[in-house]
């Protein structure tokens, strides 16, 4: 285990993300706050406009010391992520065996198993635990959201979309195989995701997960993926690219709440539904997920202009080259960091009132998303 001290390995193929359960030496909480923002409208994101606060500009680790003191200070985030990533990877491997036609299954496995931080499935499992369930209850949903996430990456990289040749440090699916195979691999993963989620055989035989929860989860995932969710965000993103002038903050919010945040929302909400959360608990967890989903994109935009392709495992500076509007482009780098800190704070507020022991993974995952380096 000593060799794992500075890293958490998320997959068996070696992709790594820099995580730590100790405070980062780069972060000094006593750093004075920035001057007040003069234009409140500049941060008029619907559910987080009131949030403010500095973000450590060069944090290189997950600073779990930023979590509230009442939340299990000895929580082993590294161990938790190792454990959950391992069972998720086994489930994904079993879900897509090599079969005829072999080429399409090879392409599906290439993209699904070729790395990734597994944030979405771990969020799904963690939300299920908060609601009183356990891994087996939410594993079909965890597998489903990771399949759909992988589908979205395959399609996003296509020449007709964002046209990117690099994904997770390797050639994109359409480069490793070909464009038609990549399209079909994404389609197959989308169909398989709903099949796993809806199949009664995917769940424990003890009946803890009643059929009405499964049906509700299927409907929730369908909404999040379709023309009201992921597809809507991708369409709006394509329409906003190459205009020559930045889009408005409202339009940028719409794009990222749908293209990025909605699948993290689905991950958390599906876990909560299958774990037996009440409607009020589900909505609070939904707000948490939307905050960290938008936070994920803000951090992604910051990393795109501050990190290299080698550090990111994908093409750096791609958004700037394609004339996309990003948060740093619209707000500037420092105000983007301030906005990210506000979203992090708001996400944690949504978890107040839940069992602090059970919410520890969600709090630490929010910190990881805020301070990740790739």
Average pLDDT, stretch 174-197?
96
- Whether 153 contacts 167, CB under 8 Å: yes
Confidence of residue 182 (pLDDT cuts 50, 70, 90): very high
Which residues sit opposite 170 in a β-bridge? 167
- The pTM assigned to this predicted structure is 0.77
Give yes or no for residue 11 having a pLDDT over 80. no
Whether residue 196 is preceded by a cis peptide bond, meaning omega within 30 degrees of 0, is no
Which pLDDT score is estimated for 306? 86
Which pLDDT score is estimated for 368? 93
Q: What distance lies between CA 31 and its chain's CA centroid?
A: 29
Q: What distance lies between CA 3 and its chain's CA centroid?
A: 26
- pLDDT mean across residues, the chain: 81
CA-CA distance, 363 to 292, in Å (whole number)?
10
CA-CA distance, 114 to 312, in Å (whole number)?
15
Query: Mapping DSSP to helix (H, G, I), strand (E, B) and coil, where does residue 266 land?
Result: helix
Confidence of residue 72 (pLDDT cuts 50, 70, 90): very low
Beta strands at 166-167 and 170-171: parallel, antiparallel or unpaired:
antiparallel
Better-scored residue on pLDDT, 248 or 307: 248
Residue 267 parent element (H or E): helix 262-275
Q: Which single residue is written with the structure tokens 């069972």?
A: 87
Confidence of residue 67 (pLDDT cuts 50, 70, 90): very low
Confidence of residue 305 (pLDDT cuts 50, 70, 90): confident
Cα-Cα-Cα-Cα dihedral of 11, 13, 15, 18, to 10°? 60
Predicted confidence (pLDDT) per residue in 86-95, tens digit:
999 999 999 9
Which residues sit opposite 18 in a β-bridge? 7
* Backbone angle region of 242, left / alpha / beta, with phi > 0 → left and psi within -120 to 50 → alpha: left
Give yes or no for residue 367 having a pLDDT over 60. yes
| Token pair for 206 | 């003890």
CA 239 vs CA 168, 223, 281: distances in Å: 26, 21, 36
Using alpha carbons, select from 189, 8, 26, 45 the residue that is nearest to residue 107.
189
Confidence of residue 26 (pLDDT cuts 50, 70, 90): very low
Query: Mapping DSSP to helix (H, G, I), strand (E, B) and coil, where does residue 254 land?
Result: helix
- Whether 128 contacts 275, CB under 8 Å: yes
Which pLDDT score is estimated for 240? 86
Give yes or no for residue 25 having a pLDDT over 60. no
Better-scored residue on pLDDT, 21 or 82: 82
Q: Which single residue is written with the structure tokens 């496995």?
A: 109
Q: What percent of the chain has pLDDT over 90?
A: 64
Which residues sit opposite 234 in a β-bridge? none
Query: Mapping DSSP to helix (H, G, I), strand (E, B) and coil, where does residue 16 land?
Result: strand
Residue 9 parent element (H or E): strand 7-9
Which pLDDT score is estimated for 288? 98
Q: Which residues contact 8 (CB under 8 A, 6 or more apart)?
A: 16, 17, 19, 78, 81, 82, 85
Which pLDDT score is estimated for 21? 34
Which pLDDT score is estimated for 213? 97
Q: What is the DSSP letter of 165?
A: S
Fold of the domain built from segment(s) 77-371: Farnesyl Diphosphate Synthase (1.10.600)
- Whether 121 contacts 145, CB under 8 Å: yes
Query: Mapping DSSP to helix (H, G, I), strand (E, B) and coil, where does residue 239 land?
Result: helix
Which pLDDT score is estimated for 15? 32
Per mean pLDDT, which range of 86-95, 96-105, 234-243 is the poorest?
234-243
Query: Mapping DSSP to helix (H, G, I), strand (E, B) and coil, where does residue 40 land?
Result: helix
Predicted confidence (pLDDT) per residue in 105-152, tens digit:
999 999 999 888 899 999 999 999 999 999 999 999 999 999 999 999
Which pLDDT score is estimated for 154? 96
Q: Using the Cα atoms of residue 140, residue 146, residue 150 and residue 156 in order, give the sign of their dihedral.
A: positive
Query: Mapping DSSP to helix (H, G, I), strand (E, B) and coil, where does residue 139 land?
Result: helix
Better-scored residue on pLDDT, 355 or 242: 355
- Whether 255 contacts 301, CB under 8 Å: no
Give yes or no for residue 316 having a pLDDT over 90. no
CA 159 vs CA 29, 90, 155, 178, 179: distances in Å: 44, 32, 9, 11, 8
Q: C-alpha angle 106/112/116, rounded to 5°? A: 140
Beta strand spans in 177-257 (E): none
């Amino acid at each position: 285990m000593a060799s794992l001290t500075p890293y958490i390995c998320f997959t068996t193929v070696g992709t790594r993300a820099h995580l730590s359960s100790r405070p980062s030496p780069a972060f000094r909480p006593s750093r004075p706050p920035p001057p007040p923002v003069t234009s409140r409208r500049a941060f008029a994101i619907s559910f987080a406009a009131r949030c403010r606060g500095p973000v450590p500009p060069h944090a290189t680790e997950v600073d779990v010391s930023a979590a509230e003191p009442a939340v299990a200070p000895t929580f082993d985030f590294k161990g938790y992520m190792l454990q959950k990533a391992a069972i998720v990877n086994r489930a994904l491997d079993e879900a897509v065996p090599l079969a005829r036609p072999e080429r399409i299954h090879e392409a599906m496995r290439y993209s699904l198993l070729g790395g990734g931080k597994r944030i979405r499935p771990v969020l799904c499992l963690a939300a299920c635990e908060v609601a009183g369930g356990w891994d087996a209850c939410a594993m079909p949903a965890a597998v489903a959201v990771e399949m759909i996430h992988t589908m979205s990456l395959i399609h996003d990289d296509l020449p007709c979309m964002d046209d990117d040749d690099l994904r997770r440090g390797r050639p994109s699916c359409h480069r490793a195989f070909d464009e038609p195979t990549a399209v079909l691999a994404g389609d197959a993963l989308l169909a398989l995701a709903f099949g796993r989620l809806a199949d009664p055989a995917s769940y424990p035989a003890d009946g803890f997960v009643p059929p009405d929860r499964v049906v509700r989860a299927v409907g929730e995932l369908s909404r999040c993926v379709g023309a009201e969710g992921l597809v809507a965000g991708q369409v709006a993103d394509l329409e906003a690219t190459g205009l020559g002038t930045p889009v408005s903050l409202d339009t940028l919010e719409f794009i990222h709440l749908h293209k990025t945040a909605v699948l993290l929302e689905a991950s958390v909400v599906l876990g909560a539904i299958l774990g037996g959360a009440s409607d009020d608990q589900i909505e609070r967890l939904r707000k948490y997920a939307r905050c960290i989903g938008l936070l994920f994109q803000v951090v992604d935009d910051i990393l795109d202009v501050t990190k290299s392709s080698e550090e990111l495992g994908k093409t750096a500076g791609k958004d700037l080259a394609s004339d996309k509007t990003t948060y740093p482009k619209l707000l500037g780098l420092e105000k983007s960091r301030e906005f990210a800190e506000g979203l992090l704070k708001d996400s944690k507020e949504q978890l107040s009132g839940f069992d602090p022991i059970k919410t520890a993974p969600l709090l630490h995952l929010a910190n990881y998303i805020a301070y990740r380096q790739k």
